[in-house]
Amino acid sequence: MALGRVGTVLVLAAAGTAAVLVTPAVKRTIALGDRAKGAPVSFLAGSGFTLELPKGLWYEARVPQFELTDGGDPTDPSRPALEHRLLRAGEPAQLAVISWRLGADGSLDLDDAAALVSEGSARRLEKWKLLGVAPLPGRGATRVLHATALLEGRDVELLWGLYPNGPTAHGVLVAVETSAFVRLRREMEGILASVRAIDPPG
């Protein structure tokens, strides 16, 4: 997949995920009700990754509420896929996991991809401000963007992790209203640090 297309995929996914965080019904806490389904989730396993969450706090969202698209053919295997969207009980926070197929060599320049995500987000999100980009501690083959933005009149703070695992790459976005970010930051960083690549079945 061309790097420009990768950037488009990631930007649209990030912007769409963040936008649903600040709907009027969210306010200070997420009213789970018909927004979530099933039992609390503490472990996710998807197409080539696993992820851990604090027990009893995170729930699968019933409806994604946004569409992931890069404008390509819906039958294209490189098209991004929303694997999970989760809501946190008691806090204005959510998480999304997006996957997409890389090119034939399964490679991705993480610094270039992070730059494209930031540049595209600056065009699409109000008051986008990139605060930093760095690998996870001890894991050079990752990047995490830390940013703030204004969405529908609410300040939000985002951590957006990039995890290449050719032939598939994953993006994990955790988003929270800025007023709650300080108390949730360690939890969000722990979730991103818990992501591990696994070999696909078969």
Q: Where are the beta strands (DSSP E) in the chain?
A: 36-37, 43-45, 49-52, 58-61, 81-88, 93-101, 126-136, 139-151, 154-165, 168-177, 196-197
How many CB atoms neighbour CB 127 within 10 A? 11
pTM of the predicted protein model: 0.81
Every domain of the chain and the residues it spans: 3-197
Positive/negative CA dihedral, 31, 176, 14, 136: negative
* Cα 104 from Cα 101, distance rounded (Å): 9
pLDDT greater at residue 23 or residue 35: 35
- Beta-carbon contacts of residue 161 (< 8 Å; ≥ 6 apart): 136, 142, 143, 144, 171, 172, 173, 192, 195
Question: Tell me, what's the pLDDT at 19?
Answer: 47
**pLDDT single digits (tens) 107-161:** 788 898 888 888 877 887 889 999 999 999 999 889 999 999 887 678 889 999 9
Question: Tell me, what's the pLDDT at 26?
Answer: 38
Question: Tell me, what's the pLDDT at 57?
Answer: 93
Question: Tell me, what's the pLDDT at 167?
Answer: 79
**pLDDT single digits (tens) 166-199:** 778 888 989 899 999 999 999 999 999 999 988 7
- Beta-carbon contacts of residue 33 (< 8 Å; ≥ 6 apart): none
**pLDDT single digits (tens) 24-83:** 333 334 444 456 677 889 999 888 889 999 999 999 887 655 444 444 455 555 567 778
Question: Tell me, what's the pLDDT at 190?
Answer: 97
Q: Token pair 């997949």 is at which residue?
A: 1
Q: Which CATH class is domain 3-197?
A: alpha beta
**Across 90-101, average pLDDT:** 86
**Across 87-99, average pLDDT:** 87
- Beta-carbon contacts of residue 93 (< 8 Å; ≥ 6 apart): 21, 30, 87, 174, 175, 176, 177, 180, 184, 188
Question: Tell me, what's the pLDDT at 196?
Answer: 92
* Cα 71 from Cα 42, distance rounded (Å): 33
**Across 93-97, average pLDDT:** 88
pLDDT greater at residue 94 or residue 28: 94
Check whether 163 has a pLDDT greater than 50.
yes
